[in-house]
Structure 1
Amino acid sequence: MTLQQSTFRGFANAVDPTPAELRAWAYQPDSVPLQTMPQDWDLLVSGDRLIGTLFDLAMDRSCPARRFALHCLYIYAADGIRTNFRAHPKRRLRKLVEQAEEYGDELMVTWAHNSRMLLAKPDLFDYHDWCEGGLVRQSRRLA
């Protein structure tokens, strides 16, 4: 699945990017390196407003920022589950997990599996793995 790519012209507000800005950046991430983004930018963009865009980017094997998008999906899942879905709707996470299981590659199926495992066993939460990219850097299925 390749998303339409457009020229990235920068963020009007990097703290609150639009879906189109995030998508354009994801295909040209070197134009504004992550190191220059606001602190905790990954946490800022991992909310309901951009999760659909992040999911699409994570599903696209050709997206240069795919690992960043996957990292944001881990943050989103953990945030929803750990707040007992006060932070994000359970039905939205469930829908994303089901789509990843049905249409995703190994990375996305692993994310879906790990999200289901965390839902069943919230004590599996480890901040490093879920919020600092540990499960993206060293992909593994939680048991």
Structure 2
Amino acid sequence: MSVQQSAFTGFTNPVDPTAAELRAWAYQPDSVSLQSMPADWDLLVAGDHLIGTLADLALDPRCPARRFALHCLHIYAADTVRTNFRAHPKRRLRKLVEQAEARGDDLNRQWAYNTRMLIARPDLFNYHDWCEGGLVRNPRKLGS
């Protein structure tokens, strides 16, 4: 799957980017240094309004910012489970998991597996792994 690409012209509001801006940036991520972005930008964009875009980007193996998108999916899953599904709807997370299982590669399916494990066993949550990129940098199946 390939997400439509367009020229990145910058973020109107980096704290609250649009889906189109995030998508355009994802295919030209070197055009903006992440160090110039607001602190915890990953936490800011990993919310309900952009999670569909992030999931699409994570599914596209040609997307240069794919690992960032996958990292945001980890944050979203952790936030959903840690708040007992108050931060984000359980059905939305399940839909993302099913999409990753059906259309994703090994990295996406591993995220889906780990998310299912986290739902079943919230004690598997580790902030470093889920929110600081540990499971993206060091992919592994949890609880096996």
Q: TM-score range by the shorter chain?
A: over 0.9
Aligned with 2:70: secondary structure? helix
Q: CA deviation at 1:2?
A: 1.1
Q: CA deviation at 1:71?
A: 0.1
The equivalent of 1:94 in structure 2 is 94
Q: Which runs of 5+ in 1 are unaligned?
A: none
Q: CA deviation at 1:39?
A: 0.1
| Alpha-carbon distance in structure 2 between the residues aligned to 1:41 and 1:71 | 12
| Within-5 A mapping of 1:118-137 | 118-137=118-137
| Within-5 A mapping of 1:22-101 | 22-101=22-101
| Alpha-carbon distance in structure 2 between the residues aligned to 1:4 and 1:126 | 34
| CA distances 1:36-79 after superposition (whole Å, capped 9, x unpaired) | 11000000000000000000000000000000000000000000
The equivalent of 2:105 in structure 1 is 105
| Alpha-carbon distance in structure 1 between the residues aligned to 2:14 and 2:21 | 9
Aligned with 1:39: secondary structure? coil
| Alpha-carbon distance in structure 2 between the residues aligned to 1:24 and 1:33 | 14
| Alpha-carbon distance in structure 1 between the residues aligned to 2:57 and 2:103 | 13
Aligned with 2:128: secondary structure? helix
| Within-5 A mapping of 1:1-40 | 1-40=1-40
Aligned with 1:88: secondary structure? coil
The equivalent of 1:140 in structure 2 is 140
Aligned with 1:99: secondary structure? helix
TM-score (norm 1): 0.99
- Structure 1 vs Structure 2 CA RMSD: 0.4
Letter in structure 1 aligned against 2:5: Q
Q: Which runs of 5+ in 2 are unaligned?
A: none
Aligned with 1:15: secondary structure? coil
Q: CA deviation at 1:33?
A: 1.6
Q: Which 4+ residue blocks in structure 1 deviate beyond 2 angstroms?
A: none
TM-score (norm 2): 0.98
Q: How many residues align?
A: 143
| Alpha-carbon distance in structure 1 between the residues aligned to 2:34 and 2:64 | 12
Q: CA deviation at 1:99?
A: 0.8
